[in-house]
Amino acid sequence: MTTTVEAIYEGGRLILPQPLPLPEKAHVMVTIETNIAGADPDRTAWLELSERSLLKAWNNPDDDIFNELLTK
């Protein structure tokens, strides 16, 4: 699952605007992208388009058959 949220870095910690729907002590991978406010609008648009396309392909229920085959 991929979730993108903004956070504020303060006192050596990332502060999220609200809790995430994760179990306690869940291990996650964090990618840091700085200068969000001054980001290039074209780059931002391409990144959003890429993320939507990836999520559409990744969350494809038709691919569930492959997961079933792996368990056999």
Tens digits of residue pLDDT in 21-63? 899 999 999 888 776 656 677 877 888 899 888 888 777 777 7
Report how far residue 32's alpha carbon sits from residue 10's, in angstroms, rounded to the nearest whole number.
Answer: 14
The pair of three-digit structure tokens given for residue 22, joined into one six-digit string? 């994760």
pLDDT at 16 over 90: yes
The pair of three-digit structure tokens given for residue 15, joined into one six-digit string? 């502060």
Candidates 29, 5, 25, 27; CA nearest to 17 is: 5
pLDDT at 13 over 80: yes
- How far apart, in Å, are the Cα atoms of 33 and each of 9, 38, 56, 57, 64? 12, 11, 23, 24, 32
Structural domain boundaries of the chain? 8-70
